Structure 1
Amino acid sequence: MKNNRRDFLKMSGIAGLGIMGGGIFPTPASASEKPRLHNGNVDTEKSIIGQYGPWANSRNSGRLPSLSFRRDEFTDLEGWRKRAMDTILDRLGLPELGPTPEVTLHHTYTYDGLVIEEISWQLPYGRATKAIVLKPVNAEGRLPAVLAFHDHGGNKYFGVRKITKTGDDQHEMMADHQKNYYEGRAWANDLAKRGYVVMVSDTFTFGSRRVLMEDVPEDQRKGLTDGDPENPDNIKAYNSWASDHEHIMAKSLFCSGTTWPAVFYAEDKVALDILVGRDDVDADRIGCGGLSGGGMRTVMSAGLDHRVKCAVCVGFMSTWTDFLLNKSFTHTWMAYVPRLPDELDFPEMLGLRVPLPTMVLNDEDDFLYTLPEMKKADGILQEVFAKAGAADRYKCSYYPGPHKFDKPMQEEAFSWWDQWLKS
């Protein structure tokens, strides 16, 4: 790939700010850390927690997790699934959000061949969740639909705007964001043009759901205010503050008896409730997917809510071992579920949806993971789907380059959704 080394270093620097949505990396990799990376691999003789690494990893290495479908004793797919899902929901500490909230329609207009709706709903906590719904102009009847997840990108000020474009006056930071991660595409728009209803909603701590300065004690604001919010300098200052605030939010959620992945899943489940309930959506043809933090949210939503008939996880697939020994410093607190690694490896959360169609897209030089552990995760999912007699329902592809969801990857994802949601 032309300029691959230059692009890789550029993306690695961006990655240090936090790509996920699935949040990722709060601080840049230091000069001493970068040499450990080589073609997706790391120095396997050392761990990021020093001599404690082999001991910590030995707790689960050499054995299958207790609820892995790969274990010989699990022969009843549905019986295994119920037991595993009950356990993961208990580990998550899923918050109860009550009945589906009422949706407010704020604006409807057309742009670039699409009908666009700007909507919102109020959850029991925080400010209203804003969302965008896109579908082709003149579309009729019930269409297949995709719940599209935005990424983290080290940018909590923005949410839905990261993967959509609703006018020619796009914010300069979002134009750059889409250029860096999506090869200049607003991929939610492009998917909708293929005959889908696509909904993108802000998630917990992003966009309309972000923490505002006026709502935290003054001594925690670092001198910031919520004034002049669209100013790029103010947005960068806010994103820096929000990155530093992630460990505070995570610890506070633990103190409340829940976890960050649980809140993501609960809020995305509400979004899915709303999407499924629309008059223009075929509830039997629903997909979801996204990059990075959106990939992590795909693991949770597609793994746990089987109304999602076709899933595409992009740029968020590895093993707990990879996070433990090599890469937790490239991720924030948003992906971790206490005690779950004893029972399921990370890819097995997505495997809970077997035999429903599932795709994983990886970048070979993704700074967030090591290539051997990405391939190990791929092997785990292959084994799960093969044991369930659904090998043809799982596909994993690898692309050259760093963390991204570029046009070739998008086209493969779109074709996968077409294959399973349009037939």
Structure 2
Amino acid sequence: MEPNMLGAYGPWAASLIGEGPARLSFRNPRFAPEGLDAWRREARQRTADLMLEPDAGGIPHAEVQHQFEYDGLEVEHLRWQLPYGPTTEAVVLKPLGASGRLPAVLALHDHGGNKSFGWRKVAQISDDLHPIMRDHRDEYYGGVSWANELARRGYLVLVHDAFAFASRRIRLADVPARIRDGLEEVEPESVEEVRAYNRFASGHEHIVSKSLFCAGTTWPGVFLAEDRKALDYLSSRPDVDPDRIGCGGLSGGGLRTCYLAGTDDRISCACCVGMMSTWRDYLLNKTFTHTWMIYVPGLPNDLDYPEVLGLRVPRPTLVQYDEEDFLFTLPEMRRADSMLGEVFAKAGAEDRYRGTFYPGPHKFDLPMQAEAFSWFDRWLKG
């Protein structure tokens, strides 16, 4: 027996999900290619039942805090209030002088062990970059803010803070002193305070997830509910073509892409980066590297993780893998790629799925961005 996350219980636990297609996998022989729509309805309904997505209200009313020009782009710094929690901050970027309805992308920021920041991980609206964000951008994004780079190609790009990040973070003052471990928010923008908060937030994830279970929902369900609200707002803008909307992101943004693009047909084109493997990989090898934000109890009985994204077949879907990504094992990443390839092939849509493997560690670097942006161009502009 190979060492695994559950020790002697690992082989037994892996046997529960088995080797073959899960109960609601489109690869399961009981689903015929001509039954694609019926299969999708059944599988999406089951996914929704398990994710327990909360009610996040109607289309958000976005208030423009600032509107200005920066580095060849029109910038809107927004905020909106959901029925619960702190106000959500977001930014919209689009080319200067753009007119008419533009193709749009919902850019989904990563986790990165950094809950002090959200949209600022992938978008930039001034020359004043926080030093932690500069390092983050250099490590994961090839030294650029990819939302800005995409906007310059003719897109309207929306980036919002996700649940428990940045403007949506859980404030230290709002939790009991016994779990704050002596921390107080004094200068939330200082490097020391950011690092201290991130340490607290990492340990607090266990509490947040268990509390959400007690509330009858899941962390992926909350993510999905709030990302849908951002998509509602994006689709409602008069300068957006609602038939040409994509989404994408690295890591935690790839996770959010998987759930949003897999369950919402308004996403015409998707790009999931550095966040694709199998439930077996998480179970046996990699649960210790991953956030609570990925897990939906019971879902592995019905769909493997790649097949959640596969619920969008035949809509265009790009998945980018990093071959030395510590978050996954390469054999299971390749197995995930094979699963998605089989799903799209069975639907007669081989050209709508592409899985690309890149050398190197966890990242969305410039060559990967070039492919992703060309993928968006092909399906949102072509």
Normalised by the size of structure 2, how large is the TM-score? 0.99
Partner of residue 84 from structure 1, selected from 43, 47, 56: 43
**Which residue type is aligned with residue 296 of structure 1?**
L
Tell me the equivalent position of 1:409.
Answer: 368
Residue 62 of structure 1 deviates from its aligned partner by 2.9
In structure 2, give the amino acid aligned to 1:215: D
Q: 2:354 aligns with which of 395, 406, 412?
A: 395
- Give the match for residue 52 of structure 2: 93
DSSP-derived class of the 1:51 partner: helix
Quick one: which amino acid aligns to residue 356 of structure 1?
Answer: R
- Alignment partner of 1:306 out of 265, 284, 292: 265
One-letter code aligned to 1:202: D
Whether 2:197 is the aligned partner of 1:197: answer no
Distance in 1 between the 2:267 and 2:145 partners?
A: 22
Question: Whole-Å Cα distance in 2 between the matches of residues 306 and 225 of structure 1?
Answer: 43
Distance in 2 (alpha carbons) for counterparts of 1:260 and 1:112: 36
Aligned to 1:61: 18
Q: Deviations over 1:61-94 (max 9, x none)?
A: 1332100001111120000000000000000111
Query: 2:240 matched to which residue of 1?
Result: 281
The SS at the match of 1:270 is: helix
* Equivalent of residue 27 in structure 2, options 70, 73, 84: 70
Superposition deviation, residue 282 in structure 1:
0.3
Deviation for aligned residue 1:47: 1.2
The letter of the residue matching 1:194 is R
The equivalent of 2:125 in structure 1 is 166
Q: What letter is aligned with 1:421?
A: L
Give the drift of 1:399.
0.5
Query: In the TM superposition, what are the counterparts of 1:165-244 in structure 2 within 5 Å?
Result: 165-244=124-203
Contact 2:92 2:157 (C-alpha < 8 Å) held by counterparts: yes
Q: How many angstroms does 1:349 deviate by? A: 0.1
Q: Deviations over 1:347-372 (max 9, x none)?
A: 00000000000000000000000000
**How far apart in 2 are the matches of 1:45 and 1:214?**
45
Of 45, 69, 77, the match for 1:118: 77
Distance in 2 (CA, whole Å) between partners of 1:132 and 1:338 is: 33
Question: % of aligned pairs identical?
Answer: 59
Displacement after TM superposition at 1:171 (Å): 0.8
Corresponding residue of 1:9: none
Give the whole-Å Cα distance in 2 for the aligned partners of 1:381 and 1:62. Answer: 15
Q: Which residue matches 1:19?
A: none
Q: Distance in 1 between matches of 2:145 and 2:250?
A: 12
Helix, strand or coil for the counterpart of 1:338? coil
Corresponding position: 1:294 with 2:253: yes
Cα distance in structure 2, aligned partners of 1:250 and 1:295: 19
Distance 2:323 2:187 in 1: 40
1:59 match: secondary structure = helix
Deviating above 3 A after TM superposition, structure 1's stretches of 4 or more consecutive aligned residues are none
Answer whether contact 2:60 2:232 (CA < 8 A) is retained.
no
Q: What SS does the aligned partner of 1:58 have?
A: helix
DSSP 3-state at the match of 2:17: coil
Does residue 344 of structure 2 align to residue 385 of structure 1?
A: yes
One-letter identity of the residue aligned with 2:219:
W
The residue identity in structure 2 corresponding to 1:412 is: E
The one-letter code matched in structure 2 to 1:182 is Y
Match of 2:292 among 306, 325, 333: 333
Could you give the per-residue CA deviations for residues 218-276 of structure 1, whole angstroms, max 9, x where no partner exists? 22211111221111001000000000000000000000110000000000000000001
Structure 2 stretches lacking a partner, 5+ long: none
Offset of residue 312 of structure 1? 0.1
Q: Greater shift after overlay, 352-361 or 61-70?
A: 61-70
Q: Which has the higher contact order (CA 8 A, sep 6+)?
A: 1
**How many residue pairs are counted as aligned between the two chains?**
380
Distance in structure 1 (CA, Å) of the matches to 2:133 and 2:4: 36
Cα deviation, residue 396, structure 1 = 0.6
TM-score after normalising by structure 1: 0.89
Q: Which residue of 1 aligns with 2:277?
A: 318
Structure 1's unaligned 5+ residue stretches are 1-43
> Would the aligned equivalents of 2:172 and 2:184 in 1 still touch at CA under 8 Å?
yes
Residue-by-residue CA offset, 1:177-229 (whole Å, 9 max, x unaligned): 10000010100000000000000000000010001011111222111112211
Q: Give the counterpart letter for 1:118 in structure 2.
A: H
The worse-fitting range, judged by mean Cα deviation, of 264-273 and 65-74 is 65-74
RMSD: 0.7
Equivalent residues of 2:104, 2:156 under 8 A apart:
yes
Residue 46 (structure 1) shift = 2.1
Deviations 1:105-129 (A, max 9, x none): 1100111100000001101111000
